[in-house]
Structure 1
């Protein structure tokens, strides 16, 4: 059976989400580069792997997946006994799993759309020779501040967003936070004590450092 393959780009936030999960699980894999600047993700053969033309796509033997958050959940369950446990300690308890699931939804629908827009404006536009729109940055930072206020309150009760252990909820935040820490938006994290501690904790993990390399 063929091994694990990730079809994506090492700079992509969504691709990094999957790479993080694989590193946390200490799994061997092959990263097959998809050149985004050349539009490889919008044509064959990539479209046969993800018809929506977005990275990453994923293969584990005969299994083919796309959508980074679905892939990380597969990895967490399929390789439950290897590396870091990315699920709640008592994940078979429906209530405990539901708490993590809430965190996953909040990250996907409240945090990421804003954070990714900020990363686009302040980081990725530079790759394409485009100019940062400061008005958009100010607007999106105001939105992100409100989300982080919710996180600050949550993190006063628990070490991580889904409880006392590191889970997929935390992992999914890491790639875009790593980019934003290199921009003026970093202040939104550092000025909130609990959020700042959480960010420091999750970004210093060995897997987090590996994707920066």
Structure 2
């Protein structure tokens, strides 16, 4: 039981979700948690600011240790509970190197997704132009093709760093789930679709699946033509 841990989170937030997947993989159930509403601005409450002065989620605390960056929290959980649950960082150098490489490639991947899905929210009205949106869509298309190629090279049924589920999958899968939620064509990206289908059935993913996604499986189809 992880009763000395607290997670404050949004439903459907990839950064929050990856911490929840890591907690499940390390068999750290029973942690204290609180689901907040982004639209109501609850992430700016004093309760959150006491843990994360940036007013962002996730806000994660283990005892007196605070880790509010989701990558940092996932790495911390793996290191502190290395012998518990799923080993998320391989011992062998080639697999370990690929795990770290794919993990950190997830940072620009999510940025490119957000630049398209939340274009109107991220960019002031005066900076919005058809040519600008076109560039962001082209950048996301190129990124998706890169990940499609990674999976094709590894072969059917593979995870992002090879035959084993790793921390790369923990942090990047929420990004891939996000693009399919927003209408990405499975026909255009069959390897990504296969990977998405594989991980959807993993217990840690099913248990932590965003509650609002269960209620509304399909969001806007902003990525259907990508």
Flag whether TM exceeds 0.5 (same fold): yes
Q: How does 1:127-138 map to 2 (within 5 A)?
A: none
> Which residue does 2:82 correspond to in 1?
80
Q: CA deviation at 1:191?
A: 1.7
Aligned length: 198
Q: Secondary structure at the match of 1:165?
A: coil
2:47 aligned residue: 45
Cα separation, partners in 2 of 1:204 and 1:190, compared to 1, 3 Å: farther
Residues in 2 aligned to 1:56 and 1:118: alpha-carbon distance in whole angstroms: 22
Match of 2:67 in 1: 65
Question: Post-superposition shift, 1:67?
Answer: 0.5
> For residues 42-90 of structure 1, what are the alpha-carbon distances to aligned partners after superposition, in whole Å with 9 as ceiling and x for unaligned?
24232221122110111112222111111011112212222222212x1
8 Å CA contact 1:174–1:203 kept in 2: the answer is no
CA contact (8 A) 1:116 1:176 kept: no
Aligned residue runs from structure 1 range 64-143, under 5 A: 64-88=66-90, 90=91, 93=93, 95-109=94-108, 111-120=109-118, 139-143=135-139
Note if 1:210 corresponds to 2:212. Answer: no
In the alignment, structure 1 residue 191 sits paired with structure 2 residue 188? yes
| Worse-superposed segment, 30-39 or 201-210 | 30-39
Structure 1 unmatched ranges of 5 or more: 126-132
Equivalent residue, structure 2, for 1:13 = 14
- What is residue 148 of structure 1 aligned with on the other side? 144
- Offset of residue 137 of structure 1: 6.7
Deviations, residues 28-52 of structure 1 (Å, cap 9, x unaligned): 2121233322323224232221122
Pairwise CA RMSD of aligned residues?
A: 2.7
Please give the TM-score of this superposition, normalised by the length of structure 1.
0.79
Deviations 1:102-147 (A, max 9, x none): 11221112x110123444469xx8xxxxxxx9x5776544222211
Closer, same or farther in 2 for the Cα pair 1:84/1:120, shift >3 Å? farther
With the length of structure 2 as denominator, give the TM-score of the two structures.
0.75
1:119–1:176 Cα contact (<8 Å) kept: no
Distance in 1 between the 2:39 and 2:190 partners?
38
- Structure 2 alignment gaps of length 5 or more: 122-127, 212-226
